[in-house]
Structures are given as structure tokens and as C-alpha cells.
Amino acid sequence: MKKYAQRYVLATAIAASLSVSLFSTAALAENPVIAFSKQWTYSHAANPATPGQMSEIPAFDRKTNTLWVAGVVGVDVLDAATGALIEHIDISSYGSINSVAIHNGLAAFAIESPTRTNPGMVVFYDTKTRTLAEGINPIEVGALPDMLTFTHDGSKLLIANEATPITYGARIGITVPYVFAQPAGDPAGSVSIIDMATRDVVTVGLNGVPVSGDNVRINTGMNFEPEYITVNEDGTQAYVTLQEANAMAVLDLATNQFTGVIGLGAKDFSLPGNQIDPLDNSSVAFLSVAAKGLYMPDAIAAYQWRDDTYLVMANEGDFREDDADRSAASVFGAVAPLARLRVSNTDSSPGNLYAAGARSFSIRNASGDLVYDSGDILDKKAAALGIYDDGRSRDKGVEPEGVALLDIAGRTYAFISLERTTKSAIAIFDITNPNEASFIDMIVTEGDIAPEGMAAYHYRGNFYLAIANENTKTTTLYNLERKR
């Protein structure tokens, strides 16, 4: 076992006071399903030549065996074999970088304008020369491009333009659930689609798109804000999370038009297997409570099983930046242990509480129907490992944020990053059959905190997981191996 990695598996003992499963390192040693070993950690903050560089989103380039790590002021290009810095690419003259994606030696940067409600841009770099790529470059896209991804064949680049307003809408009236006005100057959220053969771009919005499903948040004082995009295997459909709206949008890539917005419903925290700790009181206790959680996913990833598309979502939850759409549940008459639970005041009313986030990850089919949810596994595993941050209990628990998928030896594994644990934690699930998903293990890294983005990849017969940790400004690489 590497010095900075801890590995655990489920044992039969139950901690009655916490109602959580315990882990046995001995059991893991006997029959590990996924073995992992830390290869290296790079500290972006330790380089005095690149002040302000963060570690947020990594992308792997197979042509050069490098990791490109986006972090606000620029991109650090790291040698994937050693973790050494090869070059820092400063993009601050364009704005702030939010994401990076790579296909066939071409790196695409998503850059928001210094005035974030203005159009952003995509800048292309050649990964071999690490210079601006030839052709039309840069390309203007929608406001605040937050994430981008290539289709599998590289023919298109899709950009999620979150278009977060500077000033949100004010509340209308005093009745509950609260309603907020649509603010002036809020740019419409959109997805930009770049044809990589011509570098032509089309930007499509969500106004007038049919809405279905349950618990779509539409009175929050802001537009739909695309957060994350994934593409199905044959490149015909893209699926876009609308996190604050608790919804998913479906984008037809043949017509470059949205075909629907699907509400994702709510999770009942009173049901067995869905317990939460609603109290930030230094005493972790998981309870079945009379409240629901809006899924509100951040990252999303698609995979295929038996010719059908399934979508893996990290149900982080999110409120407005000014937090005006959240309140303590006591505002709606709740008493202990729910009085301090933070809930959506655009959805909640006395006796009907809705928190942000489901404290889980989910698998849904392409129509948005729920196939699997991890229930209370993530919070309870973190508590069993001693890395649960009780100070976040009233908010969103461990806050599942990132998703990365990897096929190893004929099985599909999901890696779920937990943003709010006291040490960097990545949960591993076998999701080969979405109806029978199962927890495998958890990667815990000493010295790293707040994993944001991940890149899972295989290279020359080996499998790897790169983890970008926002709080510690570190990037860590693990080698992965399936064993029986």
C-alpha cells in the first residue's frame, strides 16, 4: 500500500451509533476488486513562477503522455509519467479558464470573459508544440463557458455556457414557496456547438423547449444554466445537466437543437437507505427524516449497456451564488433535528421541505428515469473512514461533484469525487449492469482536499485516474488494476 493511500472494503460489523458500515483492510487484502497505487502528486501552488494557478479540471493527451490541468489563470502541462511540470500556459490575457478537453492532439480551453456576462471564448492549442493551433482561433461562444467536451469522433466540440448572472432576480411577495423575478441582464444559458472541420459555431438556447418531469426549479430568479455535458456512444444525442434547475436537457446533435428539458424529481430522505445527518453539531448521526432532496447533478457521464444509453450523475446540489433561494428549515416551521437543515425556499413550504442535492450519485436511462441511486452509501462510507465533514451536514453532506468512467477487464467502473470530505475521497462503484451497481472501494489521499475534476484513461495497457484537488491546488495520479 502506498504511503498516502488508504483502502477499505465493507465488513460485516455495523456501528450502531452511526448506522454505518465499517471497512476491513484485511478483507481488502484478501480479495481486492480494484487495486490502486499512488504514482505522484504535483503541487501547483508550490511553483512561485505561476501565482494564482489552481487545480480544477485535468485532461489527458495520449499523443504526448501529458496531463493538462486547467486552473483559473492558465494550464499546467504535466508529464503523466513523473508528474513534473513541462510548461505553464498563461491564458490570463483572454480571461479565466474553466475547463480543458483534448482530442487527437488538440486541446480546447473554455475561457470566461473578465465580465462574465459577456460572451466567452474557446482557444485551441496543439498539444505537441503547446502553441496556438492553426485555423480559426479563438472562437466566441456563449457567456461563461464552464465545461466543454468533444464528441467521440472529434467532429464536434460542445460547450456548456452557464451564463451566471451578476445580479439575480429579487423576491416577489411573501408567500411560500417563494418566487423570484427574472433579472435584467441575465444572459441566457446555452450550449455552443463547434464544427471542428470548419470551426463554424452555432449557439443554441433553451427558451421554448418543452419541459417534462418533476421538480423543475423555474422561479429562482435566473435562467437555465447548463453545467455539464456528456454524449452518447454513437454521437447522436448530448445530455446536459441544468444543476440549479434540478433538470437535464437533451440535445439532438443531428439538428443541433434541444428537444426537451426533463425534471429529475426528488429523493425521499424518510425512506430506508436514504438517511442523512441534518445536524452540524460535531456528533454524526444518520437519521430518516421528513424531508426530500432535489438531485441537482453537477457532472454527468454516459455509457452503454445492452445497446441502451445510461447516464451517471453526481448529485451535488447547488443554490444561487447569493444564497437568496435558500433558508434554514426553521423558516418553514421545522424543529429539531431539521430546524437548521438548509432548504430551497423556492420549493419548500411548512411540512414539505426540499434540500439541495441528494448526497448520492444516480444512474438514469436516456429518458431521465431513475435506474439506480447510491442512497446514503457515500456519506456513511466517509463517516466510517473518519473523513466525514460534519460541518457540512446541514448543507449537502459529502457533495458528490465529479464523475469519471473507465472500462477495466470487461467491467465498467464509476469514480465519484466527494468535494466536502476532510481528505480527498473518490468512491469507486461497479456499474457494469446499471440495475446492479455496487460499491467497491474508496480512494482517500492524505494531503489532498476537495477533488474537483478527474480524468480516467488507459495508456499502453495500464489504467489511470488523475484527480484535480481544488482546495490544496494539487493534482494526483493513481494507477488502477482490477484483481480477483
285 found inside a domain: no
pLDDT of residue 410: 93
Contacts of residue 427, defined as CB under 8 A and 6 or more positions apart, other chains included, come to 361, 374, 377, 378, 381, 400, 415, 416, 418, 439, 441, 442
| 197 burial level (CB within 10 Å; 0-12, 13-18, 19+) | exposed
Q: Collapsing DSSP states into helix, strand and coil, what is residue 470?
A: coil
476 found inside a domain: no
95 found inside a domain: yes
Closest CA to 44 of 101, 5, 102, 84: 84
Q: Report the CATH number that the domain containing residue 232 is assigned in CATH.
A: 2.130.10.10
pLDDT of residue 188: 96
Domain that holds residue 199: 91-259
401 found inside a domain: no
Cα 433 from Cα 438, distance rounded (Å): 9
Q: pTM value?
A: 0.93
For 73-215, strand residue ranges (E) read 74-79, 85-90, 96-103, 106-112, 119-126, 131-132, 139-143, 145-150, 156-161, 171-172, 179-180, 190-195, 200-205, 211-214
Scan for cell 445536524, then name that residue. 279
Query: Residue-wise pLDDT tens for the chain (484 aa)?
Result: 333 344 333 332 323 333 333 332 323 333 448 999 999 999 999 999 999 999 999 999 999 999 999 999 999 999 999 999 999 999 999 999 999 999 999 999 999 999 999 999 999 999 999 999 999 999 999 999 999 999 999 999 999 999 999 999 999 999 999 999 999 999 999 999 999 999 999 999 999 999 999 999 999 999 999 999 999 999 999 999 999 999 999 999 999 999 999 999 999 999 999 999 999 998 999 999 999 999 999 999 999 999 999 999 999 999 999 999 999 999 999 999 999 999 999 999 999 999 999 999 999 999 999 999 999 999 999 999 999 999 999 999 999 999 999 999 999 999 999 999 999 999 999 999 999 999 999 999 999 999 999 999 999 999 999 999 999 999 999 999 998 7
97 found inside a domain: yes
pLDDT of residue 483: 85
For 295-346, strand residue ranges (E) read 300-305, 308-315, 326-328, 342-344
Distances (CA, A) of 441 to 25, 51, 293, 313: 11, 36, 25, 18
pLDDT of residue 37: 98
415 found inside a domain: no
Q: How, if at all, do strands 211-214 and 257-264 pair?
A: parallel
Number of domains the chain is built from: 1
Question: Is the peptide bond prior to 177 cis by the omega test (within 30 degrees of 0)?
Answer: yes
pLDDT of residue 33: 85
400 found inside a domain: no
116 found inside a domain: yes
Other CB atoms within 10 A of residue 320 CB: 18
